[in-house]
A and B are shown apart, each in its own frame.
Chain A
Amino acid sequence: MRLNIPDRYLDLLPWLFATLLVAGIVHVVSVLLMPTVAPNDALARLASYVKSAAPAEGLVMLPQMAPGAETLPFEDPAFAEAVCVYDLAKGPLRVKTSVDGEDFLGLSFHGNAGRIYHSMTDRSAIKGKIDIVVGDARQIDALTSADEGDAPPPQEVRLTAPTKRGFILIRSLAKRASDQERARGRLSAISCQRFDLPQG
């Protein structure tokens, strides 16, 4: 049996393939580009809130969540939150606090373009302390080479951030609605400070 397809449809077949090829390329490129071109991602939202809240750096408390006043979508309303927006071009930073082992505290380290490069809770605190240094590869290298010598090994956890700009989101659970104040108090005890690399 011979297929009875008019020639002009067969002529269009290569164009159909070309259309699908273009569609495939456009689809892949647009998905890959989205994180870099999306104007309102979490980093942009937090950076603009921090700017409006005045302090130039350090830890900034996010307002208590309420309908129409959420800084980020899909956050848990049972939490009080604070953010430390950073730019490592100005230097590495240190996040430090002590934990009581009772109340949930979560720290997540976000690069730009939606990637979490580290996350932890108060459970992974060492001897009741959280002490984390965030730097780019060069800064962490400089710290490591400064260690060599007789000094005791460092107590801090060192993280290499994949991108210069990013943020650290800290979530403190208020187990009951009446615990909001305490949860915010735990956040304000956390420091997030830029520091200078040791000379040499």
Chain B
Amino acid sequence: MDLKPYANYLRAASAMIAGVGIGLFATVLSLNAGYGFNSLRAGAWTAWPHIGGADIDPYARAVISRSGEAPLGRDQGLAFIARADSNGAPLSADCEYRIIDPLPAARFWTIALASPDGRLLANPTERYGYSSVDVLRNEGGAFEIDVAREARPGNWLSPGESKGFVVMLRLYDTPLDIESAPDPNSFPKIVKLGCA
């Protein structure tokens, strides 16, 4: 069979198919990369203040409607997520970490573990996070939270049997300025203590 007269149709068809494929692939990639533009970074922590307001961008809307989450409103506070420790190495439940203050100013804060897709991590303590009120502090008011599978004295969070986890830092009624880059030194450090 001679395909030559149809060559342009074939090319058009393959351009279409390839285009649809590449376009959808780009969509999947961009939706997995975070909540769109305008992120706020401080050390290991990242927040997307614009997802909590009416000026949310289309990428962020696509991401949150796919994941089914209801973000924190802009005027309520800020939710920061850490997927890596302060040295940039991805968090692994096989390793042990220590979260060390300081924290930016806020009326309340909470630090909690979650799975990378935002679920709570089943663990024997049934504790998933600490708040600014119930965290144990030393005499100067400073605190540390250990993240480890094995029990620790003091503030201890367990990732349970999960493989990976993220740390969520939520600041409620915070005066933090979202229009300028925050000072990383005012945010907690996540220090790796060792790996199993």
Taking chain B's interface residues, is the majority helix, strand, or loop, or is none over half, making it mixed?
Answer: mixed
Among the listed stretches B63-71, B82-90, B137-145, B183-191, which one makes contact with chain A, having 4 or more residues with CB under 8 Å of it? B63-71
Number of chain B residues whose Cβ lies closer than 8 Å to a Cβ of chain A:
62
Contact B26 A27 (CB under 8 A): yes
Residues of chain A within 8 A of B170, CB atoms compared: 76
Which listed residue, B68, B107, B131, touches A44 by the CB 8 Å rule? B68
Which listed residue, B15, B21, B67, B68, touches A18 by the CB 8 Å rule? B15
Contact B58 A32 (CB under 8 A): yes
Known pairs A27-B27, A30-B24; A41 contacts B74 (CB<8 A): no
Residue B12 lies at the interface, judged by CB distance under 8 Å to chain A: yes
In the bound complex, what is the Cα–Cα distance between A120 and B18 (angstroms)? 46
* Residue of B112, B120, B173 with most partner-chain A CB within 10 A: B120
Closest to B62 in A: A34
In the bound complex, what is the Cα–Cα distance between A42 and B20 (angstroms)? 28
Residues of chain A within 8 A of B127, CB atoms compared: 177
Residues of chain B within 8 A of A70, CB atoms compared: 118-120
Closest to B53 in A: A116
Closest to B26 in A: A27
Residue A22 lies at the interface, judged by CB distance under 8 Å to chain B: yes
Contact A77 B120 (CB under 8 A): yes
Residues of chain A within 8 A of B11, CB atoms compared: 12, 15
Residue B52 lies at the interface, judged by CB distance under 8 Å to chain A: yes
Which listed residue, A75, A120, A167, A173, touches B73 by the CB 8 Å rule? A120
The total number of A-B Cβ pairs within 8 Å is: 198
Residue A119 lies at the interface, judged by CB distance under 8 Å to chain B: yes
Contact with A along B141-184 (1 / 0, CB 8 A): 00000000000000000001000000010101100000000000
Contact A18 B19 (CB under 8 A): yes
Known pairs A23-B19, A108-B70, A176-B134; A78 contacts B129 (CB<8 A): yes
Known pairs A26-B24, A121-B173; A38 contacts B66 (CB<8 A): yes
Contact B58 A19 (CB under 8 A): no
A65 shortest CB reach to chain B, Å: 6
Known pairs A19-B19, A42-B68, A77-B129; A116 contacts B74 (CB<8 A): yes
A70 shortest CB reach to chain B, Å: 6
Residue B105 lies at the interface, judged by CB distance under 8 Å to chain A: no
Contact B61 A115 (CB under 8 A): yes
Residues of chain A within 8 A of B79, CB atoms compared: 74, 76
In the bound complex, what is the Cα–Cα distance between A27 and B25 (angstroms)? 8
Contact B68 A106 (CB under 8 A): no
Known pairs A104-B173, A113-B65, A116-B56; A78 contacts B110 (CB<8 A): yes
In the bound complex, what is the Cα–Cα distance between A107 and B74 (angstroms)? 11
In the bound complex, what is the Cα–Cα distance between A35 and B36 (angstroms)? 14
Contact B73 A72 (CB under 8 A): no
Contact B27 A110 (CB under 8 A): no
Residues of chain A within 8 A of B68, CB atoms compared: 38, 40-42, 44-45, 72-73
B-side residues, CB < 8 A to A, are 11-12, 14-16, 18-24, 26-27, 30-31, 52-54, 56, 58-62, 64-77, 79, 107-108, 110, 112, 114, 117-122, 127-129, 131, 133-134, 160, 168, 170, 172-173
Would you list 25 pairs from A and B whose C-beta atoms are within 8 A, ordered by A residue? A15-B15, A18-B19, A19-B18, A19-B22, A20-B22, A22-B15, A25-B23, A26-B20, A27-B27, A31-B58, A31-B62, A41-B64, A46-B70, A74-B69, A77-B120, A114-B56, A114-B61, A116-B71, A116-B73, A117-B54, A118-B73, A119-B72, A123-B107, A123-B173, A173-B172
